[in-house]
Amino acid sequence: MRPWLGADSLERLNACAEAAALRTESGREIRFVPPGPGGPYYEIGVYESGRVATRPGNLHDWFNALAWLAFPRTKARINAMHAQAIAQEGARRGRLRDLLTLLDEGGAIVQCDDRGLLGMLAGFRWKELLWQNRERLQAAMRVRVVGHAVLEQALEPWPGITCKAIVVPAATDPDEAARAWLERRAPGDSPRILAPLPIFGLPGWHPDTARADFYDDTRYFRPQAVKSPSESARQPLRASAEESPGSAEQDAG
């Protein structure tokens, strides 16, 4: 049951937040409120007060509120990690905060244990993954979009919309698994460890996914970039229960 899908006002969003006992990791109750005067750092304000600025009638903010309701532990962990990094870095934004922002705005959780499919994902083998193995994909892989910007963009879909994905085991709770994945991150981690996923290439997400030649369009389904010797020498993260697959920091769509 997802009663919050019908929440179309701040009052209804807050009723859902209260029913679910949503809190920041600092213990503050999450409440969706109209924007007001605030400090220079949005994430610090949320962490310290639990008040999430939400413009009535604004779809971007509405999808952000829905993401809090759907993935409360993931969102709370992203918020807490931002707050910790800001306290250490100030205005200088490091790679970890870039990673957190990409997940928050455009992230997806891929639940899958099929190493063959995960190898195709990590290798940017899009036609093989999304067309040639689509029945296998639909049986063994589930994708959950966390990023509220992607959800907003999906209202006017186009093939180039791309998520940055993490991979978790198929049998786990996706919200808790994503929170745990974030918990393992180190300050030096960067967006390079996120797997690009051209989300509208998934079967049924766009009308053109019914055509094989759709996946030949490299504007949307880009091949993997050639790595420099220094990049090739690095050990990529394994696509397992512990980590998401490594990839070059390249948008796939």
Residues 6+ apart with CB under 8 A from 219: 159, 160, 253
What's the token pair of residue 121? Answer: 């994902």
Q: Look up the pTM and report it.
A: 0.86
67 CB-near residues (< 8 Å, 6+ apart) = 75, 104, 146, 147, 148, 151
Confidence check: pLDDT of 49 > 90: yes
Query: For the segment 192-231, what is each residue's pLDDT rounded down to a tens digit?
Result: 999 999 999 999 999 999 999 999 999 999 998 865 544 4
| Cβ atoms 51, 68 nearer than 8 A | no
- The predicted-structure confidence for 56-92, as pLDDT tens digits, reads as follows 999 999 999 999 999 999 999 999 999 999 988 777 7
Are the C-beta atoms of residues 134 and 79 closer than 8 Å to each other?
A: no
What average pLDDT does the structure give for the chain?
A: 87
pLDDT at 29 over 80: yes
**What gap in Å lies between CA 122 and CA 48, rounded to an integer?**
38
CB atoms within 10 A of CB 19: 11
What is the percent of the chain where pLDDT is above 90?
76
